[in-house]
Every structure is written in C-alpha cells, then in structure tokens.
Amino acid sequence: MFGKKYRLFTMFGFRVSADWSWLIIAVLITWTLAEDVFRQNEGLTAPVRWVLGVAGSIGLFASVVFHELCHSLVARRYGLPMKGITLFIFGGVAEMSDEPPSPNAEFLMAIAGPAASLAASGFFFGINLLENILGLPLAASLVFHWLGLINLLLVMFNMIPGFPLDGGRVLRSALWGWKKDLRWATRIASQVGLTFGFLLIGLGVFYIVFIPGGFVNGLWWFLIGLFIRYAAKQGYQQVIIRQVLQGEPVRRIMNPQPVTVDASISLNDLVEDYIYKYHFKSFPVVHEGRLAGCVGIPEVSAVPRGQWPLRTVGEVLRPCSPDNTIGPDADAQTALTRMNAGHVGRLMVVEGDRLVGIMSLKDIMRVMSLKMELQGGNAR
C-alpha cells in the first residue's frame, strides 16, 4: 500500500511514520484553510490565515494519530502484533500483521477510532465554546471550531459500514459473531465496501462533469473511491491467504536442498558462479558446516568492482537475524508476514546453527494456489 515511509516518532511503543503522500494532503489542507475557509473572515491578514492553516494541519495530524493510536492500544490489549501507525494521503492506518482473535475484539478495535475522534471533536468544540464565552481571539476560535467539525466528519465517514472502514469492521464483527465464519463475514463487508467505493467514484465523476468548479472535489471523491475498492479487495484476499496458510509448517513448503556458498570464496566467484548462474538475489553462507549468514547483490554492490577478486564472502556477509531466518516448525503465515515486513523474497530455515532449507515467496504462492484449487469455491 505504501511507498517509502519516514519514521516520525514513537508513542506508547508504537512507531509513527508518514508516507511521502501525506505531504500532499498536509499542503492541500493548509492551502484550503488559508485561502478558502479562513479567508471568509475579512479581519484576518494573509500571513495570519497561513499560520492558522498550518495550525489546522497540525491539529488534523494529531487527530489522525490519536484515532489510530486508540485502534492500536485496543489491538495490543488483545495481543495483536502491530507494525505501527502510518499516515498517508487518505488519512492514517494502524498496521496489523494478523486478524483479531474474536468478533468482540474486532468490534472494540474498530469502534475505538471513531470513539476517539468523537471525543476529540467534543474537546475542540468545547475549547471553541469556552473561547467565545471568555472573548478570546477570533483566530484561535476558528481553528478549534474547524478541528471540532473535521473530527465529527471523520467519525461520520469512518462509520459507513463498508470494509475496510471502521464501520465496515463493526459490520464484519457482527456478521462474524452471527455466522462464526470470518471469511464469509469479510466477503460480505468487503462487498459493501466495494459498493460504497463505486458510489464515491460515481459522485466524483458527477462533480467533475456537472458541477462548475467541482473538478478538485470530484477528483478527491474519485480517488478515495478507488482506494476504498482496492483496500476492500486486498482485505478480503489477506483473510483468504491467512486462513489457507494457517497451520501449514514451514518444513512442508521449504526447499530442503538450497544452493549455498562458502564464506571463503571471492566476491567475483560469487557473481560469476552463483548470481549469474542461479539468478537469486541472495544466498545462504555456510562455513565448516555451520550457517554464517547470507550474502547477495546489496553486499556485493557496496564493494568497488576492482576489489571483487580480492574480497571474500565472509568479509561482507550479512549475519543471521530474526529478519532473515525462521524455524522449520513455524507457521507459513508467520514466514509470509516476516517476508513482507523485511521486504525480502527468501528466508533461511534454521535449526540451531544449521541450515535446513530455504523458504521463498514463490514456494508459498505455489502451495497457496494448490490449496485454494483443492478447496474450490470455498476458497473464493
């Protein structure tokens, strides 16, 4: 879903990051507030409006983080591993690496975000009311009033019952609790999300074609509709993948006879005899029967080409870590999650200091495809 993410800070143990696309919405919100919303107040000069626009954007940033933080805190309460919180062009997302353990957990996690936004809305409206009573400056009152309104709109939008919106997750929790079938519940909630996304796309086209000056608003509705449809499809596919791979041990999928290299060979031999021959981006490094780490294109590329005949694999290898290894009895879904988190296509399967196999994304996809074919229509 995301491109390159930039880590901002850590709060309550959760890493908060921003996708580069967040800059687009931050600039757009600041510009809209300064040149449209606050421009209606003739007593405000342009510099003041822009300062208020920046303040409004910061307030929106804090509101979105608060919304997603409440999702994350409830998820952690139920033992769900969280990758962190990422802000992007359409708002923010608390990144979970697994599904909730029960319908009740799903409901509480889903409702936590809108409840937080509703509380934030009441807080900002309360400050705005207090400022009006005390006769405080108009400028600050305008910002707090807008933040109260935008948080209320966030609640209304997120509670639309279409997956993956919070309202769609609430719907899924109800369906899941009723039928005791997570896949079926996700399929129904996703179909509602797909329909809602289609309606937003239609609304966007209507604005662009029939509303004078409605191109920008129409374009945003169109893009949000596309995103919701994409996210709804992805959410359903992820549930299928998790259920198909759940309980499937790594040792049944891995390649038990991987190609390995010795730590003593030169980088030049690695390139000529392994990378060009087998077309893998990385290889396990075995020295005296023990796994020493792995080496690949990134490590070779960091060494000047003229030194390749002089440097050995053992000098540049990447040591073993939880990011590039997994045990043979681990769940295949765990392996897939680890690959996605590390952006790697292969994991070394280890027992102690011995290499017992290689687990590749291609192996997982092949087994998953076979299992889904065997399950037939039930896997769709």
Q: Which of 68, 99, 131, 299 is catalytic?
A: 68
Do residues 184 and 77 both lie within one domain?
A: yes
Do residues 99 and 219 both lie within one domain?
A: yes
Question: How many Å from the N-terminal Cα to the C-terminal Cα in the chain?
Answer: 22
Do residues 230 and 274 both lie within one domain?
A: no
pTM for the full predicted model: 0.77
Q: Give the CA dihedral 223, 226, 228, 229, nearest 10 degrees.
A: 170
Among the residue ranges 86-100, 115-129, 215-229, the one predicted with the least confidence is 86-100
Total domains present in the chain: 2
Boundary residue ending a domain (245, 262, 290):
245
**Is the pLDDT score of 132 beyond 80?**
no
Instruction: State the CATH number of the domain containing residue 281.
Output: 3.10.580.10
Do residues 82 and 207 both lie within one domain?
A: yes
**Is the pLDDT score of 184 beyond 60?**
yes
Two structure tokens written together for 108: 């509480």
Q: What is the mean pLDDT of residues 294-323?
A: 91
Do residues 190 and 323 both lie within one domain?
A: no
Is 68 designated active site?
yes
Question: Could you identify the residue written with the tokens 């108009």?
Answer: 138
pLDDT for the residue 376: 61
Do residues 215 and 208 touch, judged by C-beta distance below 8 A? yes
pLDDT for the residue 363: 86
pLDDT for the residue 379: 42
DSSP result, 342-371: HT-SEEEEEETTEEEEEEEHHHHHHHHHHH
Do residues 163 and 289 both lie within one domain?
A: no
Do residues 61 and 84 touch, judged by C-beta distance below 8 A? no
Do residues 161 and 281 both lie within one domain?
A: no
Do residues 282 and 304 both lie within one domain?
A: yes
Helices (DSSP H) in 78-165: which residue ranges? 103-134, 138-158
Do residues 191 and 283 both lie within one domain?
A: no
Two structure tokens written together for 244: 């198909």
Instruction: List strands edge to edge, sheet with 354-360.
Output: 325-326, 346-351, 354-360
- Residue 327 is part of which domain span? 250-378
Do residues 110 and 214 both lie within one domain?
A: yes
Strands 290-296 and 82-88, sheet pairing: unpaired
Do residues 63 and 203 both lie within one domain?
A: yes
* 51-to-24, 123, 145 alpha-carbon distances in Å: 18, 22, 16
91: left (phi over 0), alpha (psi -120 to 50) or beta: left
Do residues 275 and 171 both lie within one domain?
A: no
